[in-house]
Amino acid sequence: MTTFLFGLILFLGVHSVRIVAPRLREAGVARLGLQPWKGLYALASIVGFTMLVMGWPEARATAITVWTPPVWTKHLTMLLMLPVLPLLLATYLHGRIKSTVKHPMLVATKLWAAAHLLPNGQLHEIILFGGFLAWAVMDRISVKRRPDAVNPAPSGWTLQDGIAIVVGLGLYGLFVVSAHGWLFGMPLMPQR
């Protein structure tokens, strides 16, 4: 579980620089330039994520059960996950959803993490999803303290909103039917 934990700490740690040490980011950008700083940020993120993924099988093999979730939590998770992918897409598409929610990626991360905490009672799962939930909450608090970039809200629903909803729900359906099982080894639909 060591590789998994170090990967999670590195990944979330890199993503927490603006939360816990905003001056460190400013100094790094001033010294290196914005693009090299982003390159180092991306590299550290990729290394952390890779360690997290590579350490997951070991963490799973040595799982410690903290609690046994009731069956209904899986159904609640499916419901809570419905808006996650549309919100994630809305992050990159300037429309009514993005301007209304303000930080759709953080909302998506909080929903994803909270939804996955419900049906997972093993220690490594609680650490993973609890870590992401705690990070998203802290980042949202941090974002509120930063000067807000002014993005005028569209007057109505836009094509970008439609794309976010339709494509996001389509991806959700794909995950439910097959992708979740293929990617994570945990099928959501009964296999024949």
Q: Calculate what percentage of the chain has a pLDDT beyond 90.
A: 69
Per-residue pLDDT for 150 more than 60? Answer: no
CA distance 13 to 21: 11
Confidence of residue 185 (pLDDT cuts 50, 70, 90): confident
> What are the tens digits of pLDDT across the range 127-144?
999 999 999 999 999 888
CA distance 141 to 25: 18
> Which residues have a Cβ under 8 Å from the Cβ of 159 and sit 6 or more positions away?
95
Tokens (6 digits) for 123 = 């220690």
Per-residue pLDDT for 152 more than 70? Answer: no
**Domain chopping of the chain, boundaries:** 1-62, 64-192
CA distance 168 to 86: 4
pLDDT score of 189: 74
Q: Calculate what percentage of the chain has a pLDDT beyond 70.
A: 94
CA distance 61 to 69: 19
CB-CB contact of 177 with 57 (8 Å): no
Confidence of residue 124 (pLDDT cuts 50, 70, 90): very high
Segment 81-104 mean pLDDT: 92
Instruction: Decide: residue 180, CB within 10 A, 0-12 exposed, 13-18 middle, 19+ buried.
Output: middle
